[in-house]
Amino acid sequence: MPTRLYRLYQGLTLIALCLFLAGKVISGKLTWYINLRFLPLTLLGIVLLAIMAQVVFRKPRSTDAHDHDHDHNHAQTPPGNLAILLIPVIIGVLFPARPLDSTAIDSKGVNVSAPLIGENAATRELEVTADQRNILDWIRIFNYEEDLSPYLGQTAKVTGFIYRTDDLPEGQFLVSRFVISCCAADGFAIGIPVQWDGADALEENAWVQVEGPVDAAELDGLKVPLILADKVESIREPEQPYLFP
């Protein structure tokens, strides 16, 4: 492959990757793939890709023009292999973007108790009021607090999607969220059992907001929160479907 064509090919691939990442950032879908924490890193990546494309596209100076005519470009990666770098863009275009949902639980499993963040996590939970706590906060409380009595009976208001496991009693479902520490690869689902009369009519994977007092229950030998729901409202999928610990 002549050098100039090879460079053109590289440059276009770099631009495609750059635009792909920028598109994800602009549409706000970046957080469907990675933790928001890594946004600055992705932005840096976008800038580097843009600079690299610019360097590749820039007309070669007379100093290195001389070797554009001999055909000994041993540095070239075979063109077919170059195209591999386009696979992420192609997959991103072919598959409509979708955050992890209950289908993913089938391969990743669901947790009712997440031994997630170390020492000082529990103390933080005291600072937010009961109805501001999310699913992760409630599960942490039940993991780390010795004395649960102040929390029992408090009204929880959490959002999540519906997932059912076989070991749940009738009239119950899990209100679940995916937790992402770095990227979708380490995502796993957590869920709180919800007791509600209309539970069996609810559609799997649908997003709901659950409101009701919290009780303690036992599931698989673990102490977990149980929401005795007064209200289960169906809602649109939130823009940020994951929780970040």
Partner 1 sequence: MQASQKISRPLVIVIALGTLAVLLFNLLPLSVFISLGQRLPVFATVFLGIFIEAVPYLLLGTLASGLVEVFLDRKWMTRFMPRGNLTSALAGAVLGLAFPVCECGVIPLTRRLFQKGLPIPAGVAFLLAAPVFNPIVIFSTASAFGWGEMLGWRLAVTLGIAVVTGLVFSVEKDAGNILKPLMPVVHVHLHEEESVQSFAEKIRRAFLVSVDEFFEMGRYLVIGAMLAAGMQTFIPQGTLLAIGNGPLLSVLVMLALAFILSICSTVDAFVALGFVGSFSFGAVLSFLTFGPMVDIKSLLMYRQVFRNRAVGYLVLLPLLMSLLAGLTFNYLFP
Distances (CA, A) of 83 to 24, 89, 227: 21, 11, 51
Q: Please give the residue ranges that form the binding site for partner 1 (CB under 8 A).
A: 3, 10, 13-14, 17, 21, 24, 30, 32-34, 38, 41-42, 44-45, 48-49, 51-52, 55-56, 58, 61, 63-64, 67, 72-75, 77, 80-82, 84-85, 87-88, 91-92, 94-100, 103-104, 106-109, 113-119, 181-188, 245
Nearest to 191, CA basis, from 201, 202, 205, 170: 205
Output the smallest distance, CB 120 to partner 1, in A. 9
Neighbours of 58 (CB within 10 A): 10
Output the smallest distance, CB 167 to partner 1, in A. 13
| Angle, helix 39-57 to helix 3-27, in steps of 10 degrees | 150
Per-residue DSSP letter, 35: -
Question: Which CB atom, from 75 or from 201, has the smaller least distance to partner 1?
Answer: 75
Output the smallest distance, CB 234 to partner 1, in A. 22
Question: Measured between alpha carbons, how far is 157 from 135 in angstroms, rounded to an integer?
Answer: 9
Question: Which CB atom, from 42 or from 154, has the smaller least distance to partner 1?
Answer: 42
Question: Which CB atom, from 107 or from 149, has the smaller least distance to partner 1?
Answer: 107
Residue 136 tokens, joined: 């992760």
